[in-house]
Amino acid sequence: MNISKKEGFVKVLGFRIFYKTFGSKNSKSNLVCLHGGPGATHDYILPLADLAQYGFRVIFYDQLGCGLSELPKNLALFTVERGVEELEEFRKKLKLGKIHLMGSSYGGMLAIAYALKYQRNLKSIITTGGLASVPLTVSEMQRLKKRLPKQVQRTLAKYEAMGEYENAEYEKAVMVFYKKHLLRLKIWPPEQNHTMSHISKPVYNTMNGPNEFTIIGNTRYWDKTDMLREIRVPTLVTGGRYDEVTPKVAQSIHEGIKGSKLVTFEKSSHLPMWEERDKYIETLREFLTSVDGA
């Protein structure tokens, strides 16, 4: 099938934002996909473009300071709240109307934040390895760390105590965690490697911290668990059995959003769009089709 593709830049809240679309403007509905990080690029979630063959228009963009989008000097711009307004302005600029919204990891958190303010503009929400509570997620990641081999734990503790997060030995130990709980494939796809090597450190360090399980940035106290009941749009909560954002975190979102559907991919960690691609895409297709049909 010949799927139309488009990419370009759009001015959003004063900055150039890079975007990429798959499918035509005449598609039955628009699915906007939010990458994680914060500070990653859209590349690692490109498997979602598979949905274009089923008649959906799939839209990606690099958030402010990420990937090919403009990087401002003002670090104070890197907040969840501004991310919400950026998404809303992006939706308006591309004239997308009511959208389906998918968020991976931090993108799932951003999708929840957007829904709490602009759910009138949503058809549905999908989270994949998403979170509604950073404190809960951090506590779960610390639990997973304690299951790593003792030598790996000692290496992590040693360099964390010294604040040497970019030491080669420390990064090697972090990769042990990532291979278990981020992406369990023996060979990582080029899109994932591209994202990992192009993480925007100004964004990542400001909002998150030095790595996935050391969250000391401005999102560290973010917790909207008690507000999830306000979300009333159809919601699909997904994640992997071995996810760094654990099934307990996914369960908390599912319990908070009334009527939501929860799907756990048993052979996946944080990126089931790669680890169980066909099953993942089919799960999303069924959900989106059911929402549009209703």
Write out the catalytic residue numbers: 105, 243, 270
Contact 19, 11 (CB under 8 A): no
Helix 168-181 vs helix 134-145: crossing angle, to nearest 10: 100
Q: How many Å apart are CA 220 and CA 240, to the nearest integer?
A: 23
For residue 265, the surrounding DSSP H or E stretch is strand 261-265
Which of the 8 DSSP states describes residue 210? S
Looking at beta carbons, which pairs linking 189-194 to residues 24 or more positions away fall under 8 Å? 189/274, 191/43, 191/44, 191/46, 192/43, 192/44, 192/271, 192/274, 194/41, 194/43, 194/44
Phi, psi of 122 (to 5 degrees): -110, 145
Task: Tell me whether strands 56-61 and 29-34 are parallel, antiparallel or unpaired.
Answer: parallel
3-state secondary structure (DSSP) of residue 131? coil
CA 213 centroid distance within chain: 15
Residue whose tokens read 């066909």? 278
Closest to 106 (Cα-Cα) out of 199, 187, 242: 199
User: What are the C-alpha distances in Å from 162 to residues 156, 158, 167?
Assistant: 10, 7, 10
Phi, psi of 184 (to 5 degrees): -90, 10
Closest to 274 (Cα-Cα) out of 234, 240, 247: 240
